[in-house]
A and B are shown apart, each in its own frame.
Chain A
Amino acid sequence: MDHQVLTAALFLAVVALTLFITIRASRQTSGAADFYAGGRSFSGFQNGLAIGGDYMSAASFLGISGAIALAGYDGFLYSIGFLVAWLVALLLVAEMLRNSGRYTMADQLAYRMKQRPVRTAAATSTVVVSIFYLLAQMVGAGSLVVLLLGIDKENTLAVSAVIAGVGALMIVYVTVGGMKGTTWVQIVKAVLLMVGSALIVVLVLAKFDFNLSELLGAAANNSGKEGFLEPGLKYGIDLTHKLDFLSLGLALVLGTAGLPHILVRFYTVPTSRDARKSVLWAIGLIGVFYLFTLVLGFGAAALLNTGVGSDVASSEGNLASPLLAEAVGGGAGSTGGAILLALISAVAFATILAVVAGLTLTSSTSVAHDIYNSVIRKGQATEAEEIRVTRYAAAGLGIVAILLAIPARNLNIAFLVALAFAVAASANLPSIVYNMFWKRFNTRGATWSIYGGLISAITLVFFSPVVSGKTAVTPDGETISKALFPLGVDFHWFPLENPGLLSIPLGFFFGWLGTVTSKEPAAEERFTELEVRALTGAGAEQAVQH
């Protein structure tokens, strides 16, 4: 059986299923709370699944298992920060945000600050983080889908069509289904992802008699790399690489709870207690999922050729999981192999769709709710007007993302995901934490911490090796650029690829500096109100009763 035909059929099935869900959800959507927050009526468990669906991107599913397949232990090390990060969300952010906000990240700041400056700042940061993340996902989607369907990646028309198709689907999910549609797409994706990877994990482990040590030994042997099971293969090369990983680790741990598309998920449940439950479920799911990637990655290293020039190595690890599925299904050319390969490819496709939909909804909501209604219309826009603007914004942002992703498809932009986490940790988290816990924090502090963190992170990355100067040598001995700019352009002076080590402290510093230099009196009454509301839920937004 030809696996590419089967893959294409399953892709179409995913599209049909998600569109059906979206249309169904649109029939149950009637007002702003429905459109932006799914009526606040999802259960903690449902929202936990949706958080998993929003968070476990193709970069985690294919990227982390690929990183483990190629770099062994260091790939696993990378996944841990993504999980531990959820404790910040659980302990400091989720419940309080649910109680004090409404639709966007900015709501919580606007509670005790001057509306227009803080909403403008928070919306800017939301859109910037979302666009970075979105661009990385869409370019990744383009190259992945052509890879999985076996289209020649030099075929410009086909790759562009795939990117445009993904973009068009995401616009439809958001404009038609709103938060309800998007949430259900994410729930379905999370279930597919967990079931699909569990199946491969069991098949891999069965090959090694469910003995982890044996799997690791086989992986180390087959990889042919010295120290494959020990830290250092990827990040331990020299001091710069080590500091770079520390910087990345900080951004992952502190950035997750500042990602706008994650924050808005806490508004989709009825109470802060459900927000807590959803994070608990998410921690369970995401933790188990990263344990799966451990088996998938080492399984790929043990069972596949990952040497120089292999399919796994030349796809930078992205093909490790799909090819592993084919191998445990019976190998290339077998029916079992074809079925499992197609299945895992469809899961990866669903993964991409769910993540891009969440990002688009969040950024367009912020454009409509924070910028259009609060800043431009001074809060006078009706709900219907605001939702209409959200739909336009989603279509606009989607089209911009498609138009940017098509020319960027052959550029090295994988750093954008790490940059999104760094911006979230440097710009968003300081303002959220200060706002909740520091009485004196004020408007200038909030805007300075957001702009300060945002500009620091972006400036440092602009002058880092990922934008100019990073090179690699191909198996043929040719030197190629691994940076955004082509070979020969090199204006980098910041040595690290990840800015977090510097930009996160800068974000906190600017928040402090802005606060203490401002003459604005602290809104003490409003802080009292925020504290009571955040901790008790008194006066918090209610679920929609249908």
Chain B
Amino acid sequence: MTSDISPHDMAARHDPVYDELHASPEFAELKRRYRGFAFPATAAFLVWYLTYVVLSMWATDFMSTKVVGNINVALVLGLLQFATTFLLAWLYSGYSTKKLDPLARELDDRFVSLAGKASHGRSEH
């Protein structure tokens, strides 16, 4: 029911099929696409969050500016943090489904046929 690799001999074993997959242009493309999204996106939201925290701590006059009624810039920026978090999650969901999953499935199928091992990564529910 679990894989036949026991955790203890893992570090000693190596399946050469992985080298073959690693060297394939499809894998290079998958890695490029994943990193091309995940790294800049992580940098962007961290910078945006830290900017918000720094503004809240050190630019209180600006943050206290009223926008409409009792709603001030601080509250708007805070709610924008929620909005950008939801937005980025939604963007990554679409991107990974379209750009990452097909390549990952293809490589996983190749792994199964080359290694003769069942892999659950490709099955659907």
A residues engaging B (CB < 8 A)? 31-33, 43, 73, 76-77, 80-81, 83-84, 86-88, 90-92, 99, 102, 107, 110-115, 212-214, 216-217, 220, 227, 229-232, 235-236, 242, 245-246, 249-250, 253, 270-274, 276, 279-280, 283-284, 287, 290-291, 369, 373-374, 378-380, 523, 525-526, 528-529, 531-533, 535-545
Q: Are B7 and A231 in contact (CB under 8 A)?
A: no
Q: Are B75 and A73 in contact (CB under 8 A)?
A: yes
B60 to chain A, nearest CB (A): 5
**With contact pairs A80-B81, A284-B86, A537-B104 given, residues A91 and B41 touching in the complex (Cβ less than 8 Å):** yes
| Bound: A245/B57 CA distance, A | 8
Chain B hits for A541, CB < 8 A: 2-3, 120
Q: Are B8 and A73 in contact (CB under 8 A)?
A: no
Q: Which chain A residue lies CB-closest to B49? A: A84
Q: Are A287 and B57 in contact (CB under 8 A)?
A: no
Chain B hits for A112, CB < 8 A: 11
Q: Are A230 and B74 in contact (CB under 8 A)?
A: yes
Q: Are B19 and A536 in contact (CB under 8 A)?
A: no
Q: Are B7 and A102 in contact (CB under 8 A)?
A: yes
Q: Is the interface of A mostly helix, strand, loop or mixed?
A: helix
Q: Which of B1, B54, B112 contacts A544 (CB 8 A)?
A: B1
| Bound: A383/B119 CA distance, A | 22
Which residue among A91, A526, A532 has the maximum number of chain B CB atoms within 10 Å of its CB? A532
Q: Interface size for chain B: under 10, 10 to 19, 20 to 34, or 35 or more residues?
A: 35 or more
Chain A hits for B93, CB < 8 A: 276, 280
Chain A hits for B108, CB < 8 A: 536-538
| Bound: A270/B103 CA distance, A | 19
| Bound: A529/B20 CA distance, A | 10
Chain A hits for B92, CB < 8 A: 90-91
Q: Which of B31, B82, B115, B117 contacts A80 (CB 8 A)?
A: B82
Q: Which of A33, A535, A540 contacts B27 (CB 8 A)?
A: A535
Chain B hits for A535, CB < 8 A: 27, 30-31, 34, 104
Cβ-closest 4 pairs across A and B: A537-B121, A379-B8, A213-B69, A538-B111
Q: Are B27 and A110 in contact (CB under 8 A)?
A: no
**With contact pairs A77-B78, A246-B54, A374-B7 given, residues A536 and B89 touching in the complex (Cβ less than 8 Å):** no
Q: Which chain A residue lies CB-closest to B18? A: A529
Chain A hits for B54, CB < 8 A: 246
23 contacts between A and B (CB under 8 A): A83-B82, A86-B85, A102-B2, A102-B7, A115-B8, A115-B11, A229-B74, A229-B75, A231-B60, A232-B56, A232-B57, A271-B121, A271-B123, A272-B121, A284-B86, A287-B86, A525-B19, A529-B14, A532-B107, A532-B111, A537-B120, A538-B111, A542-B118
Q: Are A253 and B46 in contact (CB under 8 A)?
A: yes
Within 8 A of A (CB), among B43-93: 45-46, 49-50, 52-54, 56-58, 60, 63-64, 68-72, 74-75, 78, 81-82, 85-86, 88-90, 92-93
Q: Are A88 and B78 in contact (CB under 8 A)?
A: no
